[in-house]
Structure 1
Amino acid sequence: MGIDTLIEDWLEDVKTMSDLTVSEKEEVTRAGAEAFAKELTEVTRRDHTSKRKYKLKKHLYETVGISKAKQKDGTHIVGFGDDRSAVVARFVNDGTKKMKASHFVTNLQNSNEVNAKVFNAERKAYEEILERRGHGING
């Protein structure tokens, strides 16, 4: 077996490992979305729980969720469950004329620690897919 054959086989393995179906992409991004949603819920509960409900039926942290609608590219969206909660979250994050912005969502999105948790969750899901295919990272 020549070096050309070995390289071609290796390239074919790499291609097979990197080509994910939409359902596999959904599985990977769902894991990342769950990790981010958990962090968003914790930050919202810790920093933005009010005794006043501002005509909301739930506290803001109780409305954090992951999109149920299927995205064509396999992505998931993390956000606040209903329109009213989303508007309140936007005002709290971005501020208003009379209210200082807290940037709690923006800071979370830019946090290296949170991004590492999301990445690790997605990596674990990706490795599980490769194991099912028989292309483990170490194998």
Structure 2
Amino acid sequence: MVDLDKGLNDWLDKITKKVDLSTSQKSAITGEGAKTYAEVLKKNTPMSHTSYAHARSAGHGRKSKHMRDAITYKAGYEVNNGNTGDTSVGWEDKYNAMVARFVNDGTRDMSQKEISNLHFKDHAEKEAAEAVLKANAEKFREILDK
């Protein structure tokens, strides 16, 4: 099994030695990989039975979506909104990101259900690794063939 981070970096190093990609081309390639990863992450993200049809108070704000529905990415943009061509996949707001961290990493007193949800992000990353690399490679070939 390929380590996703290492696989993507190795692949990118090989490509950049042979081809100089523009930011928009790199955005298209990483966007395809992000789309693939976001789908797998969404499938693996645990979901509570609480209804957020009408926003509910949560912490200091109003929660209007499940964690699963708040997964987002913007092709070519990182967390800090820098347009580098790299694409970050994450959650729409800090609250959902914080809850995702607790669910993924665990807390002190957890139920059996919470224990079964541990490391869902890690599992999603492993599950998506091959598909992300394949999606990136297909988009790269498509760009080169133009």
TM-score, scaled relative to structure 2 = 0.69
Question: 2:30–2:85: 8 Å Cα contact kept in structure 1?
Answer: yes
Aligned to 2:126: 110
Specify which of 78, 84, 92 is matched with residue 103 of structure 2.
92
Question: 2:31–2:74: 8 Å Cα contact kept in structure 1?
Answer: no
Residue by residue over 1:109-133, the C-alpha shift from the partner in whole angstroms, topping out at 9 and shown as x without a partner, is 233xx1111111111110111011x
Question: 1:17–1:130: 8 Å Cα contact kept in structure 2?
Answer: no
Identify the structure with the greater helix proportion: 1
Measured in 2, the distance between the counterparts of 1:58 and 1:15 equals: 39
**Residue segments in structure 2 that go unaligned for 5+ positions in a row:** 1-14, 52-56
Measured in 2, the distance between the counterparts of 1:28 and 1:40 equals: 19
- CA root-mean-square deviation: 2.4
Instruction: Using the aligned pairs only, state the percent identity.
Output: 31
Q: How does 1:1-139 map to 2 (within 5 A)?
A: 18-44=19-45, 48-52=46-50, 55=58, 56-67=63-74, 69=77, 70-99=81-110, 100=115, 102-111=118-127, 114-132=128-146
TM-score, scaled relative to structure 1 = 0.72
Measured in 1, the distance between the counterparts of 2:140 and 2:106 equals: 38
Question: 2:67–2:96: 8 Å Cα contact kept in structure 1?
Answer: yes
Larger radius of gyration between Structure 1 and Structure 2:
1
**Residue segments in structure 1 that go unaligned for 5+ positions in a row:** 1-13, 133-139
